[in-house]
Every structure is written in structure tokens, then in C-alpha cells.
Structure 1
Amino acid sequence: MRVGIATSGLWQLRDAVELMTGGTACWLPPRGLGVDAIAGWGHKPTADRARALARVRGIPYIAFEDGFLRSVNPGISERPLSMVMDRTGIYYDARQPSDLEAMIRKRASSPGGDAGALQAMDLLRTSRLSKYNNSTIQNITPLGLKAVRPDDRVLVVDQTRGDASIEGALADASTFPRMLEAAVRENPGAEILVRIHPETMMGRKAGHFTPKVLADLAASSPSVARAAGAGLLRLTPEPVNPWALLEAVSKVYCVSSQMGFEALMAGCEVHAFGIGFYAGWGLTKDRLTPSLTTRTSTTLEKIFAALYFQYSNYSSQRTNKRSHLLDVVDFLDEKSKAKIY
């Protein structure tokens, strides 16, 4: 099978495309002639032309994305240690089916547990690993929080503007201030932490929450104004490990961020304001009805097993060959600890 690659970024990872598809990668020829499938980055706008060309040619479009244990730092300077491939849709687009959703449904209908899922979840939590692993602060002490107990703290998770997973989760930019207002209103007296996205912290991409956004929201919402006046509402741009934040709160409000799934692993009550890949399975407090999906109740272990064991593909940073979840955990654990203080 000849797989035509549609973007320069994915071309740099053509060996991974070949490894995952079992085909031979080539640069996408004009009009897509001579290829059996077209590969692109997910359902991002940059992939629209490739997807349209695949439809016209009547050949498969194969979506690739960074995996859920990507690297130490965000950005193209580091090769992703994990990637996902989807021949049906992509995991963050609830408007159509995806391979991940089919994998979860199949596991949900199968009796018994998923061997190793609980142990792997515990390993990620104890290793403090996430998609990006450049956090230098490993506990909440430097934040000087007002509330003492996790039960009195709530985390609101921001995402970068224009992230394809926001629209794919049937949300938009207006969802974020509404989510924050709901978090404040529904948790009177609680300390509200607004977690800024790592790429926003680095100045690479804009987010939805800034001091001005919070001030404007306080001007229109009495509950937000009271929380802000009492010093109970704060942005959290510090490079704090996401697990430290999750273990410091009892509730998490999110749209479609991967951190919402990690919040479930951390035992938090998760309020989902979008149809992320982990919403609609009976594990989250859903603010939208996943009417376009066929999701039924299942367990956290089954979703984790589908996501990390089946849907994700791992490669070695050292050899660029197929690897295993445990190898990636070891590598990231070693590299990320070098930046911890």
C-alpha cells in the first residue's frame, strides 16, 4: 500500500507512518494519483484538502495525531513518543465515529476487566506523567493556596484557542467563560484554580483565560465578582505538574482536554462541557448530550485500556522503532526528572 503524506510535519514522521500502516510512505502526488490512501494530521483545518481529495478519489483518509504520552516539551523540537492512527475518524471529533469509540464499545460489551489497566493508571500517576512533561513544580506548596482541603478547591482547565478538539467536542470559545462561571456559581466559597495550557505558558499559543477575561466576567457575573473579591479565583500559569493539581482538588471542569481524563484517573468529579473522548460513558457529569454518538456506560479501566493499550502506538526516541508503554514511561520519567526542582 502506498500512503500519500499530505503535510510536511507528518512527512518528518514518515517512518512512523510506515510502521503503523504497514505501507510505503510517499509525498502526496498532484491530485492524489498513484496512492492507495492519504495520511494527514487528524481533522485539523490543515487536513481539509487531504480529506476532500481522499473523498474525491474514493480512497481512505488515515488520520494521525500525537499520542497521550507525547514528549517532555510541546512542539516540533521533540519527536512524539506516542501517536494514534484512526481510519474511521479521530478521537476528538464526536461528530462522527472513530476507531477509538469502536474499541471502547467493544470492550464495554465484553465481560471481565482489562488486565494491566489499573496497574498502568497507577504507574502514570506515581510517575507524574502526562502528554507533556516539562513541569518543574511537583507540588502545590509554591502556589500559596488559600483553601486547605481538596474538597474546597475546584480546577477549571483551559485549552488553546482554535484547538480542533474544541469544535470536535461540539463546543466553542464561548464555552470557556460559561464553564468558569458555572464552576464558581456551583461551588460557593471554593477556591477556583484556572489551569493555563502548557503551550500558552510558553507563549506559543493563545488561551481563553487572561486577567482581562476574568475581570470582564467578574463585571457581568455577581458570583465571579464575589469569588474574585475574596481572592478565591486565580489563574494558574505556574509550571505545576498536572497530577499535583488534580490531587489538590475535588472537582474538575473541562471541555475536551486530556486532563479531564486524567482527572478521572485521579478520582476527581469531572464536569464535561464538551463531548471529549471520555465523556458520555457514564463517568463524567455531562453538560452536553452525546446525541451523535452511540456511547453507553462503561468503566474507566476499559476506556484506559482502549486508549493506551490499543489505540496508541509507541516508538523509541533512541531507535525510532516500535516500543511499549512501559518503555516510554521509563524514558519520560528519566528525562522529566532532570527538570524538576
Structure 2
Amino acid sequence: MRFDKFGKALKDNAPSWMRRNSAIAAIYDSVFRTPKKQTRPRGQYLSLVRHAFNQYDWINEGAPLSDLFNGDLSTEIVRLSPGYIKFSLFQMQFEAARFERELVLNIGDHEVNADLLASVAFSLGISANRGSDITVVSTRPIRAQRTPFDAHASEEAWLRSLQFVAGLRSRRSTLILVGDQTCAANRNRWNSIIRNLLKVSNKFDGNVLIIENSVSNNLTNANYTEILGRTNVALLPGEIISPILSERLEKSSSAASYHTKIWTRLPTALPQMLLRDLNRKGARSFQTETEHNLDLAGEYSQAFVGGSLPGPISLAQSDASVEVINGVQRYIVNAFDARGRLDGASGLETLPSISSSSAFLQWGASESKRRKRLRRNSKNSAAPLFFVEDGFIRSVEIGLKGSPGLSFLIDDLAPYYEAREWSRIELTLASEWAISAEQRAEARASIENIRRRRISKYNHAPDYAPVWQADPRRKILLVDQRNGDQSVSSGLASASTFREMVSDATGMENSLVILKRHPDATIGNMGSYFSAGNLGPLLSHPSVTFHDDEINPYSLFDAVDEVWCVTSGMGFEALIAGKRVKVYGAPFYAGWGLTEDRLKLDWRRRTIRSLEEIFYCAYLARSVYFNERNGSKCGLDELVAQVASDRDHYLSKAHI
């Protein structure tokens, strides 16, 4: 007898008083009832109908979306497989651009998947309107001269766009497997190849993108389930209807094609993929981008910062993380003008409820089970994944005290402090991007505003002259960081780097070395790199003095001749204050000609950047600011004024 049937028999034959007791009945149900399995459609491919594109009626006349797809758009299958819709609309954009038209999606009022369609359209840069009777695809004259679908886009930019459509985190090491119509007649061979490829792909840090150019379902349950569970493997099914896409795939050095008798490209493509991972430490190089941000991920990240999101955002925190949600992340939904927040790191069975997310936000770069599930769900939802961190002007009090952040910095490629991979900020600065006169003026004005108001990341500390300022020796400020800070290892540094920095400073003749421990250590009870365990005898060196009392960083800058740091953002604040800065790690602002660098960052040294250019990319182009008083998104200067006012009020109360 099955276990659940045995439980039912026990329950049915229990005494009447026990059967009438709802609590006991619930216990029986929870223990003996077999959980209902969640349906996971196996390749329910929503493929574009070929004749609809041969005629191109939709170019000049609006066409119902349901007429262009094989499948019911109102079913749960769509919410489990939004990538299929995204891939099809992506190809329609290619075709619209070919006819010098701009794609428009008019979403019906009664569309079950209205939020999902709106989020997909927003991520692809498609204009979406609500209020139609049915969902209709149409076009209008193109407004922009250059688009991510330009035929002359670089290989790197084009690959990033394709990975973005598939929901994959951008990797330069990418293998694309393209299966043609013969896959349906050779399912066993096709699935055998995919099964072996999935095994091999566990051994490298790259992406596998499987494009099945077919209208039928050719994957086994095992392969499909494996793809669902992976963060670096994605499936784009359905007929390829865009000649531009077909041509780019044929020319791509990252693509391998499947044919009935021979798989021509895999023997050379796979080894190249294994050797071409340019993201890892020791393998960094730079190939000049002919067009800056000419890819979908870059375009969407700009829209994500500046616009209102049509759907919710998903984060790794569960609903039970009340302290975090109501504390440090209290304003994140309003700051991005999103329609709520969701638990994006839950099980696969929750995909229907989170597939309408406009984006998934990962806080931090370290690995965890919930972050891995967040990336997996982002991929399966075909929704963009962004790395989000506290902005460079965060709040008055430190985050460890639960103070909510008032600014957020996002990056679609990697956390801004990650020097082992390309971040969008770094890629922008390393590209041929040129700051406009208006952007430079805006950055210069904001820099001056911050300098004049003496605003830092945290603003709880008073402004005063330190007692050691009168010392006649040359004064060097060494900046600490919280022990284990992710930005240290991501910035190509370690605890030994801090020892080297202190050792070099104490070796300078006639110098006073001021060690400033991080606020998280002095008032947050966290670890410090400037500890006895790490520095040993250097702590008692006669030229060393500690400044552990809380003080406005600008008071320190006023009192010293130069500032040394590893990867701390305080080094960039010192640049804003006009100080000479020496850097021992690889923070986002090092290697561009503004700092003295202990590390040789060749991939950055190709381009010299000004303070205004770095400031614009970090503080203006990729940051979102929130006005706590009126509860809405605001500009940088507005936040600076708010923080300055709140700081003065906070310090006056502390003084009383």
C-alpha cells in the first residue's frame, strides 16, 4: 500500500472525535498527503509562424500577437517560459530595423500576461502602450539612427545582446549551439550532444546558449530540467525568422552548427571557448569597442536608472528577511520606481509568480544558495540581472546600524568593484566613449557641490581639526576597510596588501602615518585590516598613530599631504578633495592616470580619464538617488542637499 493511501486509511478509520478535530486532520494531511507536483512544460515552444514574416503584414499594419505565435498566450506556459516571447520579439526588432521601422507593442487591457509583456518590451527597448482591446504588434518610423541591432555592431556587443535576451549574465567566453530543422528527425543524436555539452560546461566559467531552430519539441525531460536548473546554460527555442540573426550566427566565432551528418564547428569552437575566458584574473586584455554601449544590456541599464519600471523587482531576500527589507533596503522599490518587490530566490515552482519582474537585483558578489537561485530564476524568466550596491553617498548613519540606503549603484555586467571582470563602468571608461560638454559640466558642478558641503558616503561624523595636525612631519593617511570586505579580493588585494601598504608608509623618512580604521570596525564591532593580528609589530612603529574617533573624511583630507588606500571608495573622495592618492589594489577609479598605482592595470592604462569622466560614470550614469522626505527618486544634487541638512540636524542633536 502506498504511504499516502495508508495515511488515508488511518484517517478514515480514526475515532469520530479525531476525524472531527480540524487540527488533527490537518496533521494527517501534512504528513501523509503526496505533494502535488508542479507542472514544468517540456519545451512547449512558442514559435513564430513563418508565413506571418514572409508577408511582413505587421510592418505596415498592426497584427495581433496571438496570430504570430503558435500557442495560447494566456496560459501558464508563457509565465514559465517568457524567454520564448522575448526571443521572438527580439527577432522582430531586427526585422523592423531592417525596414527602418521601430517596433511598438500595444498591450490589451484584458491580457493575462500584461505585466510580463510590458516588462519584456521595456527590457528590449520596445515602446509599449496599454489600453488596447487585444495585444497588437505594430511599427512606426524609426527615431534613432543607431540601435543595438545595427549590422555593424561589434562581435562583443552583439554577443552581449544575445546573452541578455537569453537571460544569461554576460560572459566573453560563450558557446552558441545552433540546431536546425533536422533536430526533429535526429532527436536522439541532438539530445546526446546536448547531454555531453552540459557535462563539459560544468568545467569552465562561461555560458552555453542553445538555439533550437525548430517548431517542434526536441529535448528530453532530463536535458530540459538540467537547463532549467543551471545559471550558465539557456535555451532559445523557435524558428529563426530573421535573416540578420541567421547571418550573424553563421559568422560568429562563438557559434557551432548542428547538421544531420556532421557537427562542423564544435571541435574547434569548444577548445577556443575554454581558452578564451577573458574575464578571469591573469587573462585580462582589452579589444577596443568601436561603439560604446551598442548592446541591449547597456541600453537597458540606462533605461533602468532613468525610467519607471513596468513591473516589480526581484531580490534574493525572502519575505522573512523583515529586518533587511524594512531596514537597509527600505527604499529600494521606490528608488527604482518599481511595482513592488518579489522573492526572486525561491524555487522553480514560483516562476509564474516572478516572471513579470522587470529585473532581478543581486546584492553582493559572494556566492550563496539564494544568489545562485536568484541568477537561475533570472535566466529562466529572461529578465535582466543587475548587481546593486550602496551608492557612494549612502546615508547619514552607517548601514550596520540599520540605516536605509538613499542611493543605489547598478551594473549589468559585474559589481563596480570587481576588477577580475568587466563592469559596465570599467568598460565605458576603457571604450571610445567621450563625455559631452553638458555631461562634463554636470559632473564638475556636482563635484564642487560635494566638496563644498563636505559630503561622504557616511555622514555621521563631526568636522574638526585632529590633534596630530600640528605635527610638522609629512602626513600620510592610510585608509582601512572592513575585514573580509568583498571589494578587497575583487580588487585583486588581500590582508597582505594592507601590511605592504603600512610597511611602505612606515619606511618613509620624516613621515607621520595615520591609520584610520573603518567605521564598521570602530562603531559597528566588525573586523579591521588594521589589527594586531594582521599588522603585528607595525602597529608599534614610532611613526604610526591611530585616529579611531569618528571624523568627517574631509577633516582628515585637510590635515594630510596624501592618501593611501587599497580599494576603498574613500580614495576617490580624496581625489574629489584634490589630494594625491596612492592605490594598492584595483578599485574602479585606479589605472586611469589620476592615481599612483602599485598594480599594473594594463587594460585601463590604454585610456587616460579625467576626474569628471570617472565621476560621471559612477555617480551620475549608473546611480539612483532617493529623496527620503518626499518619497520619490531624485537627482544627485538634491540628495546632497538633503543629506547635508540631515547631517547638520543629526550632529546638533548629538552635541546636545
Q: For the superposition of Structure 1 and Structure 2, which TM-score range results when normalised by the shorter chain?
A: 0.7 to 0.9
Counterpart mapping for 1:135-146 below 5 A? 135-136=461-462, 138-141=463-466, 143-145=467-469
Distance, in Å, in 2 between the alignment partners of 1:153 and 1:15 is: 40
Q: 1:128 aligns with which of 441, 454, 457?
A: 454
Distance, in Å, in 2 between the alignment partners of 1:328 and 1:169 is: 28
How far is the alpha carbon of 1:281 from its aligned partner? 0.8
| 2:493 matches 1:171 | yes
SS at match of 2:441: coil
Q: Partner of 1:319 in structure 2?
A: 630
Counterpart mapping for 1:1-341 below 5 A? 1=119, 3-7=313-317, 8=321, 11-12=325-326, 13=329, 16-17=332-333, 20=336, 25-28=341-344, 29-31=346-348, 33-34=351-352, 35=355, 37-46=359-368, 48-50=371-373, 52-53=375-376, 57=380, 60-75=384-399, 77-105=402-430, 109-110=434-435, 112=437, 114-136=440-462, 138-141=463-466, 143-145=467-469, 147-148=471-472, 152-185=474-507, 187-210=508-531, 213-217=534-538, 228-229=541-542, 232-291=543-602, 296-338=607-649, 339=651
Percentage identity across paired residues of the two chains: 30
How far is the alpha carbon of 1:169 from its aligned partner? 0.3
Q: Conserved in 2, the CA contact under 8 Å of 1:94 and 1:292?
A: no
Distance, in Å, in 2 between the alignment partners of 1:294 and 1:41 is: 29
Q: Conserved in 1, the CA contact under 8 Å of 2:334 and 2:632?
A: no
Report the aligned-residue RMSD: 2.7
- In structure 1, give the amino acid aligned to 2:459: N
Q: Conserved in 2, the CA contact under 8 Å of 1:10 and 1:41?
A: no
How far is the alpha carbon of 1:214 from its aligned partner? 4.7
Q: Partner of 1:222 in structure 2?
A: none
Distance, in Å, in 2 between the alignment partners of 1:118 and 1:77 is: 32
Distance, in Å, in 2 between the alignment partners of 1:18 and 1:327 is: 16
Between Structure 1 and Structure 2, the one with more helix by share is 2
SS at match of 1:174: helix
Structure with higher Rg: it is: 2
How far is the alpha carbon of 1:106 from its aligned partner? 5.6
Q: Conserved in 1, the CA contact under 8 Å of 2:360 and 2:385?
A: yes
Distance, in Å, in 1 between the alignment partners of 2:423 and 2:336 is: 17
Q: Conserved in 1, the CA contact under 8 Å of 2:449 and 2:637?
A: no
SS at match of 1:303: helix
TM-aligned CA distance change 1:6 to 1:213, over 3 Å? closer
Q: Conserved in 2, the CA contact under 8 Å of 1:38 and 1:50?
A: no
Q: Partner of 2:297 in structure 1?
A: none
SS at match of 2:509: coil
Residues 17-26 or 124-133, more deviating: 17-26
Q: Conserved in 2, the CA contact under 8 Å of 1:50 and 1:61?
A: no
| Unpaired stretches in structure 2, ≥5 consecutive residues | 1-118, 120-311
Q: Conserved in 1, the CA contact under 8 Å of 2:450 and 2:640?
A: yes
How far is the alpha carbon of 1:21 from its aligned partner? 7.5
Distance, in Å, in 1 between the alignment partners of 2:608 and 2:526 is: 35
TM-aligned CA distance change 1:16 to 1:54, over 3 Å? same
How far is the alpha carbon of 1:330 from its aligned partner? 1.4
Residues 116-125 or 82-91, more deviating: 116-125
- In structure 1, give the amino acid aligned to 2:620: F
Bigger relative contact order, structure 1 or 2 (CA pairs below 8 A, ≥6 apart)? 1
| Unpaired stretches in structure 1, ≥5 consecutive residues | 219-224
Q: Partner of 2:27 in structure 1?
A: none
Q: Partner of 1:221 in structure 2?
A: none
Residues 193-202 or 52-61, more deviating: 52-61
TM-aligned CA distance change 1:144 to 1:14, over 3 Å? closer
Q: Conserved in 1, the CA contact under 8 Å of 2:469 and 2:559?
A: no
Count of residues paired in the alignment: 326
